[in-house]
Amino acid sequence: MAVRNLASGELESVKDPGERLSVVDFSADWCGPCKMLHPVLEKVSEEMADRVDFYTVDVDQAQAEASRLGIRGVPTMIVFHGGSEVDRMVGFRDASSLTGRLRELADQHVDGE
């Protein structure tokens, strides 16, 4: 499972992934921490492929959506389940803290493994 680029307008379609979580990373190519986060997301997406889908959105290409979601900093990761936001993380996270947080959320929102 890799991290899929999401084009403007595609966001609605990934908010409700059924019995899974969606993590949408809002980032920009002028942001250093975003560049550091990308390889971390790739790694975590492999580890959590059974329960979580990963997407990345370029905020410059999706300004209206970013603004609607109140995003005023990058990288921001929003976790969706069942069409709603269940968590939001601002700034860089390393693989172990991101995996830890997503496991908690998956245990809370997604049945079983």
Partner 1 sequence: MPEFKMGLVDGPSTDEPGRVWDLVVAGGGPAGMSAAIYAARYSLETLVLEGMEPGGQLSLTARIENYPGVPETSGADLASAMRKQVLDSGSTLRSEVVRSVEDKGGKGLVVYTDSAEYAARCLMIATGAAPRRLGVPGEERLHGRGVSYCATCDAPFFRDAHVMVVGGGDSAVKEAMHLADFADRVTLIHRRDELRAEPILARRIQSREGVEILWSTTLEEILGDDSVEGVILSRDGDRQRMDLDGVFLYVGRSPATAPFRGLVELADDGTVLTRGNVLTSHPGVVAAGDVTDNPLRQIVTAVGDGARAATAVYEKLKG
Residue ranges in contact with partner 1 by CB under 8 A: 2-3, 5, 28-36, 38-40, 42-43, 56, 58-60, 66, 70-76, 88, 90-96
Question: Nearest approach, Cβ of 34 to partner 1 (angstroms)?
Answer: 8
The catalytic position among 3, 11, 23, 34 is 34
**Minimum CB distance to partner 1 smaller for 18 or for 32:** 32
> What gap in Å lies between CA 15 and CA 84, rounded to an integer?
7
Clarify whether 34 is annotated catalytic. Answer: yes
Task: Report the residue number, 19 or 33, with the smaller CB distance to partner 1.
Answer: 33
Cβ pair 102, 50 in contact under 8 A: no
Q: What angle is formed at CA 49 by the lines to CA 33 and CA 43, rounded to 5 degrees?
A: 35
- Give me the least distance between CB of 41 and partner 1, in Å please: 8
Here the tokens at position 77 are 């990761």
Determine the Cα–Cα distance for residues 2 and 67; give it in Å rounded to an integer: 26
Beta partners for 90?
A: 76
Residues with catalytic function: 31, 34
